[in-house]
Amino acid sequence: MILSMILLFVVGYVFIALEHKVKINKAAIALLMCGAIWTIFSIWGHDTNIAHELIDHLGDTCEILIFLIGAMTIVELIDMHGGFNVITEHITTRRKRKLLWLLSLITFFMSAALDNMTTTIIMIMVMRRLIDDSKERWVFASVIVIAANSGGAWSPIGDVTTIMLWMRGNVTAGALIATQILPCLVSVVIPTAIATRYIADTSATPVSASIAAQVAAQGASVGLPAGVGPRMSRFILVTGVLSLLFVPIFKSVTHLPPYMGMMVALGVMWTLTEILYDLKRNMEESIQNRVSKILKHIDMPTILFFLGILMSVAALQSAGVLTDVADWLDREVHEVFTITGVIGILSSVIDNVPLVAACMGMYPLADPATVAAAVDPAYLQNFVADGLFWHLLTYCAGVGGSLLIIGSAAGVVAMGLENITFAWYVKRITWLALAGYLAGMLVILLEHLLIGL
């Protein structure tokens, strides 16, 4: 039984990794894999509690999915109202190297509140308005991917993996930010500094004068939707970002699960936009971007992909596979930096969501009583809430995805938008990303040794 479940998971994952070759959506493969693994476990597992375990795992998974649906809706609401055009308007520098630093840092901090894929799309669109040379755009886009992945790793709402760890109580928002922001920043600064050598320190091509004149004549921003003025666009942007940042605060104050805070945030945004459009009595219904319309554009295949993957990993956890792997690593490796470092390298090939889900299944949260009774309490201390292992895992799984262009959703999006080749990225960017990745791990080690973080 166990061998069959593992084989199904491996085969399913190969098909997911080769999605662009097999021409089958990865969500469909993940759902089939999930159903097949649970079926085998149900038929041959001989466990009367399987139905109960399935419900428990589904509840934990749905908390994450509901959170993601709320976050994706708010981000889409901001985008549909042209809120992200504010970024373009406030970038005045035209020196290419300075522009690279600016876009890198903006991406780093933006992806801490938005998802990496959305941030990458937005910043590449901004970059296209400023850089006309295709090869230089590849460098800019690659740095944006690195910054997006690193930026998502230090915020509890910055990436699906940090959301998972935060919602399950493995990390807390304050400790995560305190321990991760510096190593994540280092993992961006080093590749960006090296990447400036790839581009000439000349002026970028400015925005077309005709476009600028058109914007001035209309009193609006480039790319604003019909019926949406600059004031409304900025209002949606500010309230949307504040709503996302409200979620960790809501959890800290009420101690309710994060998805409840996200539902409150979405409810507030929904109400505000309904009031705004009700005040615009002369605006045609067809051009109104109400939440009820935006919900139809939510990326449901991605949501279903996460459902399939997380429930597949849950089946392996229930069957004891992940516990056996954890026991082997404890015996043969017994060192958290090595374990998480390998996980980070694997995340450049394998999606980091199932990797993190597998680690959460392999290593349950340790409580003080368990640590005290352990044979090696110093090692088990790494697995308590906000322990060194969980902080390393958030860093390695997020930042490690930048080592290859196919290692993250941000990389795949950039690859598609700019036609970046896999071989070019490996030759020019992988070693930059690796240098930043290792430097960030060194910072975490120094934090741990010197100040006990």
pLDDT at 34: 92
Query: What are the distances in angstroms from CA 370 to CA 235, 300, 324, 360?
Result: 50, 40, 19, 17
Query: For the chain, how many residues are written?
Result: 453
| pLDDT tens string 163-180 | 888 888 889 888 899 999
User: Residue 13, exposed/middle/buried by CB under 10 A (0-12, 13-18, 19+)?
Assistant: buried
Q: What is the DSSP letter of 114?
A: S
- Of 130-144, 148-162, 166-180, 226-240, the range with the lowest mean pLDDT is 226-240
More confident residue, 151 or 219: 151
Rounded distance between C-alpha atoms, residue 376 and residue 247, angstroms: 37
Rounded distance between C-alpha atoms, residue 244 and residue 254, angstroms: 16
Query: Average pLDDT of the chain?
Result: 82
| pLDDT tens string 400-442 | 989 988 677 788 778 777 878 878 888 899 999 999 999 999 9
The predicted model scores a pTM of 0.71
| pLDDT tens string 37-74 | 999 988 887 665 788 888 888 888 888 788 878 888 88
- Residue 287, token pair as written in the block: 């051009």
Average pLDDT for 14-23: 78
- Of 259-263, 346-350, 389-393, the range with the lowest mean pLDDT is 346-350
pLDDT for residue 393 is more than 70:
yes
Phi, psi of 370 (to 5 degrees): -65, -40
pLDDT at 224: 67
Rounded distance between C-alpha atoms, residue 423 and residue 420, angstroms: 9
| pLDDT tens string 186-229 | 999 999 999 998 887 777 654 444 344 443 444 444 456 666 77
- Residue 67, token pair as written in the block: 């959170």
